[in-house]
Amino acid sequence: MKLGPKAVATAITVSAALALTACGGNANSGNANSGAGAPAATALTLGTIQDVRSWDPAQAHVGHVLQPYQAAYDSLVLREPDGKLSPMLATAWKYNATDTVLTVDLRTDVTFSDGAKFDAEAAKANLDHFKNANGPQMAQLGAVSEVKVVDADTIDLSLTAPDPSLEFYLSQAAGLMGSPKALGTEGIKTEPVGSGPYVMDKASTVKDSQTVFTAREGYWNKDLQKFSKLTLKILADPTARTNALVSGQIDATLLDPKTGKQAEGAKMKLASNQVDWQGLLLFDRDGAKNPALKDVRVRQAINYAFDRKTILDQVMLGQGTPTSQPFGKESGAWVEELENKYSYDPAKAKALLKEAGYESGLTLEVPAIPMFETQISVVKQQLADIGITLNLGAALTNTFTSDIAAQKFNAMYFSLFQGEPWVAINQIVSTKALYNPFKNAPTELQAKIDAVQTGGTDAAKLAQEVNKYVVDQAWFAPLFRVNQMYFHNTKVTVAPQIQQAVPSIYNYSPAK
């Protein structure tokens, strides 16, 4: 009978030993910024949502995933936090009279981390590689038919048709410049070779866990190189990101309204920004599969059915702005009068349905999409109030994009990016857009789209007409623009980047 107390004693000893080992080693737990009272951060540690698929710049993605590439690769054009396009590796760029040739002047004092020189040949090699490598953003150079070297520091990009987004794309994936010696090799897939402010520390980097960069010696633009070390810690789980931020393991990360509350409680600072809109996309505007959707009054009735402010407050904890338009505030296509075009008015909605001959109601089907269960159930409830039955169809699967393209859904609830007007038009409005699967193209609208395409510097303003048309015709039923909750500690200053949930790498600096 002596075993009992001994077992208990042993268990206690084991636990105590574990705890003591833990305490003893805490000083080396690995956070580069853990020094209390440090005046300013010389190392920046960011929590990111996923690792890059490949470091080949032609495989670069946009949105959340562009940031890591910016550490290693300079782009031709620099996009300022407010969206203004500034020189970077390109010093100047200009279109010809018909907007079909873009002449780009390049820097001559830049080298890549493997010693190769940046020049017109290198820029051409990159743009050609991007066009041929079949990467996820290949469409960014879809309009470019040829890249020609004019002289050592000038290239011409010939276009098949004007592309008002091209300069923007040159600040994104298409503009990233890798060493011409490394392009197309196996090595560049796992270790970037660019001219950017940082170089990868391969020894400390673990795929899907952390990527470590150190400042590159002799970098040509010291203003963009604000830290001696940069660590991107991959934290897919929002709880993990919150814990890492609150406990000081990382300096900044993207959270959501719910986890943001915890970060606020821990005195983290918020760099908020509106990037996406959420709402219904009413695809079948010609009534090919659901005849009711052909009637603009039905589509408008759907828009009048929603109490956007209450939905926003309850579902997103008020983090966003109710809206009736799908174009973003900073896009240039945004129109103030459209903001509350469809205010909550169930009586008017019912009257419109009656006028359209759907007094006895109609049925709408949307796919079930994980992440939006709450929103969809609220939408269902509010549509029921005006006599529309919302049926939940098959769940979203990996066949999502092909299902949309195959016109499997007449309508859906989704969250979409509010980008540059031409980017947004080609995402949700034009006949090329994935989110216009029924290829609705009224002549009146097509003329407005064409005007944007050939509008040159007026493109954004001309896109307001497209916006007005799709809102008047109720192509969508937007509910609200969502606040992106980017939190950071007081050691760093962060400037939000318009149209990006995660700021560009240049927007961080040590706090003063």
Partner 1 sequence: MTRFILKRLGSGLVVLFAVSALTFFLLYIASGSIARNILGDQASPEQVALKEAELGLDQPILARYISWLSNAAGGNFGSSWFSSEPVANSLATRIPVTMTMVITAMILIAIIATLIGGAAAVRRGWVDRIVQVGAIVGDSVPGFVIGIILVTILAIQLGLFPATSTISPDAPANAWALSMTLPVIALLINGVTGGAQQIRSAVIKQLERDYVRTLRSRGIGEREILFKHVLRSAAPAGLTVLSLQLIGMLGGVVIIEQIFALPGLGPLAVAATGQSDLPVVMGVVMYTVVVVIVVNLLVDLLNGWLNPKVRAS
Where on the chain is the footprint of partner 1 (CB under 8 A)? 1-4, 7-8, 10-11, 14, 18-19, 21-26, 28-31, 50-51, 53-54, 61, 134-140, 142, 189-190, 203-210, 212, 233-237, 239-240, 243-244, 246-247, 249, 397-403, 426-427, 434
Give Cα 405 to chain centroid, integer Å.
22
CB 454 within 8 A of CB 99: yes
- Alpha carbon 178 to its chain centroid, in Å, reads 22
- Asked if 510 and 252 touch (Cβ cutoff 8 Å), the reply is no
- Tell me how far, at minimum, the Cβ of 235 lies from partner 1, in Å: 5
Closest approach, Cβ 361 to partner 1, in A, equals: 33
- Residue closer to partner 1 (CB basis): 47 or 496: 47
d(CA 278, CA 375): 9
Q: How far is the CB of 29 from partner 1 (least distance, A)?
A: 5
Task: Report the nearest approach of partner 1 to the CB of residue 71 (Å).
Answer: 17
Dihedral sign for Cα atoms in the order 407, 412, 416, 419: positive
**326 φ, ψ (degrees, to nearest 5):** -85, -10
Nearer to partner 1, 240 or 369 (CB): 240
CB of 260 or CB of 320, closer to partner 1: 260
Torsional sign, CA 187, 188, 192, 193: positive
Strands 85-87 and 77-79, by their bridges, are antiparallel
Angle between helices 346-355 and 296-304 (to 10 degrees): 170
User: Among residues 4 and 115, whose Cβ is nearest to partner 1?
Assistant: 4
Query: What is the DSSP annotation of 288-345?
Result: SS-GGGGSHHHHHHHHHT--HHHHHHHHSTT-EEE-S-SS-TTSS---GGGTTSS-S-
- Closer residue to partner 1 (CB): 207 or 222: 207
Cα–Cα–Cα angle for 270, 272, 274, rounded to 5 degrees: 165
Instruction: Return left, alpha or beta for 156; rule: phi > 0 is left, psi -120 to 50 is alpha, else beta.
Output: beta
Least distance in angstroms from the C-beta of 18 to partner 1: 6
Q: Contact, 2 vs 15, CB < 8 A?
A: no
> Shortest distance, CB of residue 183 to partner 1, whole angstroms?
15
What SS3 class is residue 232? Answer: strand
Q: Which is nearer to partner 1, 98 or 247 (CB)?
A: 247
Nearer to partner 1, 50 or 340 (CB): 50
3-state percent breakdown (helix, strand, coil) of the chain, nearest 5: 35, 25, 40
Geometric angle at alpha carbon 28, from 253 and 25, rounded to 5°: 120
**Minimum CB–partner distance for residue 490 and partner 1 (Å):** 17
Q: Yes or no: say if 201 and 214 are a contact pair by the CB < 8 Å rule.
A: yes
**Minimum CB–partner distance for residue 52 and partner 1 (Å):** 8
3-state SS class at 67: helix
Tokens for 501, please give them: 């949930």
CB of 141 to partner 1, least distance (A): 11
**Minimum distance between the CB of residue 189 and partner 1, rounded to whole angstroms?**
6
Cβ closest to partner 1, residue 86 vs residue 204: 204
Q: Among residues 253 and 467, whose Cβ is nearest to partner 1?
A: 253
Cβ atoms of 483 and 256 within 8 Å: the answer is: no
Beta carbon nearer to partner 1, 53 or 222: 53
**Identity of the residue, 2 or 512, whose beta carbon is nearer to partner 1 in the bound complex:** 2
Q: Minimum distance between the CB of residue 42 and partner 1, rounded to whole angstroms?
A: 18
Across 320-410, the runs of DSSP E, i.e. the strands, are 320-322, 362-368, 388-395
